[in-house]
Amino acid sequence: MNDTPLQAFRAESSSKVIFIPARHDPKSKQLVVRWKDIQHWFVNAMGIMNGKAVVLFLTDDDLEDLHPPRIAYHPDVILDVIVTAAASHSHDVALMSSNVDTDSQALVARSKCSSSEPHPSDKFQGTLPGAAINHLMETVTRRQAAMQPIKNNFVNCNRTDDILQKVQQTEQQTHQKIENVLERLQQTDQQTHQLQQQIEDILQRIQQMNQQTHQQQQQIDDIIQQGRQMQQQMHETGQGNRQEMPSHQQTPKEVQQYLKEALQLQRQEFDRLLAIKSRAQTLLARSFKELPLPRLFIVLPNATGHIDRGRGLFFLRFRLYYLCECGDHTMGDDTKENHEIHMAEHPGYDLDNQSMFFDKIAKEIDMDQARLSQQVDDMIFYLEDTLHINNSYMDSSANSEFDTSELTQLTSYLKIKDEGFVGNLHRTRTQDRRCVWVCSNHRREHHRMRIKIKDVMGKKQWIQNLYSRWSLKAIDLKRLCYHLVTTPEAQSIANFGISSILLFGFGLLSLIAAISWMRHVTMEVEQLNDINLSDLTRQCHYNELTIKNIPDGVDKDRLVNILQHCTRLQVLRIGCPAKHSLAVINLVVSTREKALQQGYSFPLSTLEVMDEGLIPFDISYDDRDHILSTIQFSEDSKVFDMRTNNKLQNQNLGSKITTLVVIPTALTTFGLDALDQVIEISASLVSLRLWFNNLETTIHSEKAKRLLGRHEYKIDGLGLYGDSFARWLPQIIHAFPTRESFPKLKILGVGSYTRSNATQAWILWIVAMISAPPLLPFYSSVAPREPWARLEVIHLKGIALQPKDWRSVIEAIDFMALDLLHFEDTNFSKKDLELLVNRVLDNKRTPQVRLKHLTFDKELFESDGVAALCSKLRMKVPAIMIHG
């Protein structure tokens, strides 16, 4: 008994482990476990899983199930038993209520887990005589002694309980942390809501103040209008009366008093609005840690001054210099910069109104010249000593209560010319979400990250993503061309290989034409007129020329002019629409033939016609995916060879296909390669559906395995059909055993041209493919995520199942997203339909049903009692259409 191998099993929803002895198969000479023994302990067992893989029944050489059914022995592995929900619950209750220490207690657990079905042992539940009881106890004692060595071999099973207990504790701790985080987020949302409410109240007050100001302004206008009317009346009374009136009494005293009061009220309301706006900006800055301007600055006297002749005094001018708020928060991993607060690399700003600035910002500064110079020197020494001792004392967080409205008002005293950014500083955030202003060097250090590029292609792609165009102006190009033409340094450098240039939107071709060593010119000109065309061809030294864009109508005269004047041209690249490519080729060929007939030299040897929008900015000889046709001319004859490299789409541009339905029955190997390329370059592909027929043949079976293996994660529609399930379905099951192989699958069709009896392996695979996805926790959001999509269409054809197998299939169907359910040429019966209707009507298991079409065989549709079941089904799903 000590050498008897035991196989460990556990129910899918239970943590308890049951050990069943394995048996020696005399035919195969291997250890097996009988399916009957498994069902003895796990009632309503549907299948066995080893992790994510399905454990199949053993078969003979003809792939037929052995009788009785059995599975192979898996040493040191705990196999999961798939049972129905009711059976699993009863099994857990039985295991929880027993310790499985003795054989008699195991019999009790067996009777409990099998309570849903009658068991032969139920007939001994009556009163037994005393002798029978003593005989039973002796038998139990002997079996306990025999099972004791087996129990000793599996003492380590308690470790599994300990591990499961630790896992449960860890899961509880994780859930507790998630609840704490959610509670903090809720508190933050409440605080944000309160701040928004305060801001809305302030804005409402501002709106009310504006309305009041508008009303007061209207009153002032009315008073002014009344005053003007009174002046007009006084003017009409006569000139003498106006002369007798004092000059300061030309308007009544009441009107003057009203005007004064109105102006005073308007000034007070304006001051209130400014105060409210200042407080609102300060509240926003404190709440969201925003700073509109740098907060660290220093004011120093200007190097030069001027004499104010009106005052007769030497009046100093001051400049404001901003400081970089660098520190420990801007240090990177491999930093080489000095992270100490320093003056920004900027000439500073002149103060427009120094008196108001110092009254507002620096009221404590003594403007006396003698004391000011000494105070400035002392402050500089103090700053240097303090920065040398400890740089952290001026941390930007030390003055968190600074009124940010004063920073905004500060700009009114400065003569700012660079409005894009202030003082060459950039606003960034630290890890603790504080806002600081730092220079460009420390900003790069703060945002620097290490990138490891392992392959050449990845490096090339990364550099292309970082590439940015330089927007040049005409003056920059003029200086560049002048430098290239005149300076001897540029000429000497050109002798070492600088012989090509790329121009975008450039019209000064006369400057480039003067460069005698330029051999390769790539230009992008919106309009090639006669003036710049003559500049281009006047002094032609090029042996390569690329014209990126030719309009729809081919300009024959200009292209011929280029070919005739460019006497050294050897390679010509032209970009044009694909429909005009043949016209361009014929034009170049005819021009070359005429020149050779007239005895002129025509060195052009290569013509490359490219698709208009696909010419890259850096044309290389190794990358020719954009080339439509390449023409190689012979040196002494009119004969030329043409090489065509036409493609469905350029790889860089990609395909715009969104839905692709493929029936690869007639595709060859080259067709499959082309299909792979189309799928790979179709970045916008949303729906990919593959329908395979005649899978019983080796050719079509290999096609299916190839396409499914390469694009399984993109497929949302799949049809698998063949002559006999036994000839091709086991291969598909072996290659793709689980539903996780097709995470986007929404349409599934499986069928045979001739009806076949399904094996247990086929049934388990079909159940796995049509089952609903389990909900997996996704802690970064509130909603859980699903490992695969829900099926919308299910089509089963030419399959025959046992009643219990139909029950398993119907129980596994996910009705949450299912639109069409089609059973064709199957043995789907009236009882199975009744089971399906009850399954749909069960509100607990299927609270939501969107089934629109249900189709089964015509014989079943016309049988008795089916109409009543259909009516019962329409009570929950009124819009369903049932076909036979």
Return the CATH number at 681.
3.80.10
Higher pLDDT, residue 864 or 94: 864
Angle between helices 530-538 and 556-565 (to 10 degrees): 20
Categorize the per-residue pLDDT at 606 as very low, low, confident or very high, splitting at 50, 70 and 90: confident
Domain that holds residue 784: 659-827
Tell me: pLDDT of 645 over 80: no
pLDDT of residue 372: 60
Tell me: pLDDT of 280 over 60: yes
pLDDT of residue 749: 94
Categorize the per-residue pLDDT at 395 as very low, low, confident or very high, splitting at 50, 70 and 90: very low
pLDDT of residue 747: 93
| The last residue of a domain, from among 827, 845, 874 | 827
Mean pLDDT, the chain, as a whole number? 71
Categorize the per-residue pLDDT at 262 as very low, low, confident or very high, splitting at 50, 70 and 90: confident
636 plus 516 within the same structural domain: yes
454 within some domain:
no
Strand (E) positions, 35-164?
45-50, 53-55, 70-72, 78-83
Q: Does the predicted TM-score (pTM) go above 0.85?
A: no
pLDDT of residue 4: 79
CA Rg value for the chain: 45
Please give the C-alpha separations between residue 741 and each of 12, 682, 712, 718, in angstroms, as whole numbers: 22, 21, 6, 12
145 plus 61 within the same structural domain: yes
635 plus 663 within the same structural domain: no
282 plus 301 within the same structural domain: no
pLDDT of residue 801: 92
230-256: pLDDT as tens digits:
766 665 655 444 444 444 444 567 777
797 plus 698 within the same structural domain: yes
793-823: pLDDT as tens digits:
999 999 999 999 999 999 889 888 898 999 9
| The last residue of a domain, from among 241, 271, 288 | 288
328 within some domain:
yes
pLDDT of residue 555: 61
Contact assessment for residue 791 and residue 818, using Cβ atoms and an 8 Å cutoff: yes
Q: The tokens 């609840």 sit on which residue?
A: 179
Reported as half-sphere exposure (CB side, CA atoms, 13 A), residue 165 has a value of 5
pLDDT of residue 202: 83
Number of domains in the chain: 5
224 plus 324 within the same structural domain: no
Closest CA to 89 of 42, 122, 121: 42
Instruction: Compute the distance between CA of residue 486 and CA of residue 722 in angstroms, rounded to an integer.
Output: 78
Provide the sign of the torsion angle of the four alpha carbons 549, 553, 556, 558, taken in this order. Answer: negative
> Which range, of 556-560, 571-575, 878-882, averages the lowest pLDDT?
556-560
674 plus 738 within the same structural domain: yes
704 plus 819 within the same structural domain: yes
877 within some domain:
no
Determine the average pLDDT of the residues in 316-324: 84
Instruction: Compute the distance between CA of residue 166 and CA of residue 174 in angstroms, rounded to an integer.
Output: 12
301 plus 435 within the same structural domain: yes
Determine the average pLDDT of the residues in 44-52: 85
For residue 348, report the phi and psi dihedrals to the nearest 5 degrees: 90, 175
| The last residue of a domain, from among 617, 644, 671 | 644
pLDDT of residue 722: 92
837 within some domain:
no
488-537: pLDDT as tens digits:
545 544 444 445 555 555 555 555 555 555 555 555 555 555 555 665 66
710-734: pLDDT as tens digits:
888 889 999 999 988 999 999 999 8
683 plus 735 within the same structural domain: yes
Categorize the per-residue pLDDT at 463 as very low, low, confident or very high, splitting at 50, 70 and 90: low
pLDDT of residue 342: 87
pLDDT of residue 821: 92
pLDDT of residue 495: 47
497 plus 535 within the same structural domain: yes
141 within some domain:
yes
508 within some domain:
yes
607 plus 720 within the same structural domain: no
